[in-house]
Amino acid sequence: MDEVIQVTQWLSSITPRKKAKLFFFTTHADAPSPMVGSNDVDTHEETQLPLATTVALHNFKNIDEFLKKKVNTFSCYNVIENEITKTDYEYLRFYSACKYLDIVPPFLDLEKISAIQNKFEMTDEERDYRLLLDSADLVLEKVCDSLKPAGVSQMWTALRKDRNLIRGVKTIDIIGFFVDPNPTGIKECLFFFIVRFLQKADKINRVNTNRLERLIAQCDESSSCEEGKTIDFIIDSLRFYPTELYPFGFCLIMCVIEGRDGAMQEIEKTMEISRHLGMITHTEKNPTKETIELVKKELMKPKYQFYSSFTCWFMSHGDSNSMVLADGETIEREWFLTSFPDISTFQLKPKVFFMVSCRGANKFSLKGDEFEGQSATCDYYDIGSALIRNRMLDITDSVRDISYVQPMMDTLVAYSTILDHLSGRANTHGSIYVDRACVLMSENISRGRSLTEILEHLSQDLHEILQGTMDEDRIVYKQACHYDSFFRKTLKLPYTRHPKEDVHSAPQ
């Protein structure tokens, strides 16, 4: 069958709502650049004009033309070895969006997708289509689904009132002030236009969503929310780090085995919980400084920009300032922690570090007859008042900026013990901190708990455990853990485990 006819038939089989979503997912706002095949041409018109005309005319002709153009580009595209191009990214995004929406064109060349994945050096686990979806866009899709057409219309009215923001934007004028979002698919087009417009104007990104939240907050709840949803529920969904679907993120486990009883148990536990959470995991046993540098270089590869989060477990001996590596050399803990968050592939994404090592030799010792011989070191601002609010600073949009970000932002560092103190171990099971952390994370999947809630529970749980030294003095002591957070959103554990789905991967 002629390809033009195939494309026409394929488009005619897609509902207007799915067309709007496909357009949204394939015009991803944070496409990486610079890259081979990219240029500095402003894509504002390309990504927003089809949405604007569809809303204004209640006609999907321009979106259909956009999708036809994409399909034709992919059909004629020759995969160039070793060079990752803009079309490579677009092809993968398009394929994953079609897979997600269950509208994969029968004529799409899956062998090309496999060849592109080869260029990205993707493993079998990483060829799951869900990795290629942008989790922030998936959250925004859910927000759209939670709003009625009237709600999106009210958002549009509120946006139009901000004259400083919309001045001189032609696509805004195309849509006009009053909009009828009720025809099928028009609500989605209008909402996605608002989102992409705010992103292009540097008012929102995957972390900073305050400007969008304020638009939603101006909606009338009785007429704007779908059944079972509220304005607070919708806004709250934007206050979590977007980690939708599989994988939950990338997990790096680095563990010094030499001279550390139970180290293999630590690796097994952290690997098990990371996989249970739906992370793709890499383990480095007995790391050296050279190993760390190689891992940092690896994480800068383009494929890692598809991940939603980064977690690192580092387990070794240590003192107040440094950690001991497998070859006996030491590295400054601060150097390690500041070198990873600055990796560009994980910017604006949550980065969690579990630092499991002693930070000194002090012990919070317990004295008294009742503790003799005991040890668990065994094998086993809402401002509610208008008066107060009126006294607060009026922070306007003109003094807000989301373009420049401190490297440590969106990073959380969890320490197994406090400064200058020991981190306890069990002879056969390794770090007690690692054991309790993995248990609590496993128990709290499907409960909607955030990582910080679990770390607070872990702090309580660990501090209840009596530990003891193995020397002749048999000192009984307690361990206190803590964390430092630079998070700007809440990181929730996934509600369900998301295993790899081989049936959704492209052919090898």
In the chain, domain spans: 1-28+50-132, 137-239, 249-364+405-486
Break the chain down into helix, strand, coil percent, rounded to 5: 45, 15, 40
249-364+405-486 maps to which CATH number? 3.40.50.1460
Helix axes 149-160, 186-200, angle to 10 degrees: 30
Q: Percentage of the chain surpassing pLDDT 70? A: 87
- Residues 38, 27, 60: CA angle, nearest 5 degrees: 130
Average pLDDT over residues 130-149: 95
Phi-psi region of 498 (alpha: psi -120 to 50; beta: other; left: phi over 0): beta
The answer to whether 450 touches 493, Cβ cutoff 8 Å, is yes
- Which amino acid makes up residue 336? F
User: Residue 168: pLDDT band by 50, 70, 90 thresholds?
Assistant: confident
Instruction: Judge if the upstream peptide bond of residue 106 is cis by omega within 30 degrees of 0.
Output: no
What mean pLDDT do residues 219-248 have? 91
Distance CA 415, CA 360 (A): 13
Q: In the numeric block, which tokens belong to residue 288? A: 């050296």
Q: Which of 115, 72, 76, 69 is nearest to 92 (CA)?
A: 115
Contact yes or no for 22/14 (Cβ under 8 A)? yes
Nearest to 270 by CA among 433, 485, 127: 433
Tracing tokens 């677009």 back to the chain, one arrives at 90
Residue 34 preceded by cis peptide, ω within 30: yes
Q: Are 285 and 257 in contact (CB under 8 A)?
A: yes
Closest to 153 measured CA to CA, from 214, 215, 91: 215
Residue 234, beta-bridge partner list? none
DSSP tag of 80: P
Q: What is the pTM of this model?
A: 0.84
Q: Is the pLDDT of residue 279 over 70?
A: yes
Residue 59 confidence (pLDDT): 94
CA–CA gap between residue 132 and residue 303 (Å, rounded): 9
For residue 259, is pLDDT > 90? no
Mean of pLDDT values over 419-437:
87
pLDDT at 98: 96
For the cut 60, the answer to whether the pLDDT of residue 387 exceeds it is no
- Percent of the chain past pLDDT 90, that is, above it, reads 61
Q: What is the pLDDT of residue 383?
A: 37
Lowest pLDDT segment from 146-155, 332-341, 389-398: 389-398
Q: 442-492 pLDDT, tens per residue? A: 887 767 789 999 999 999 888 888 887 666 667 788 899 999 999 999 998
> What are the Cα distances from residue 181, in Å, to 56, 148, 491?
10, 9, 33
How far apart are alpha carbons 77 and 82 in whole angstroms?
15
- Within 13 Å, how many C-alpha atoms sit on residue 126's CB side? 23
CB 304 within 8 A of CB 297: no
* Model pLDDT for residues 319-346, shown as the tens digit of each residue: 989 999 999 999 999 999 988 877 888 9
Q: Give 306-315 pLDDT, tens digit per residue.
A: 999 999 999 9
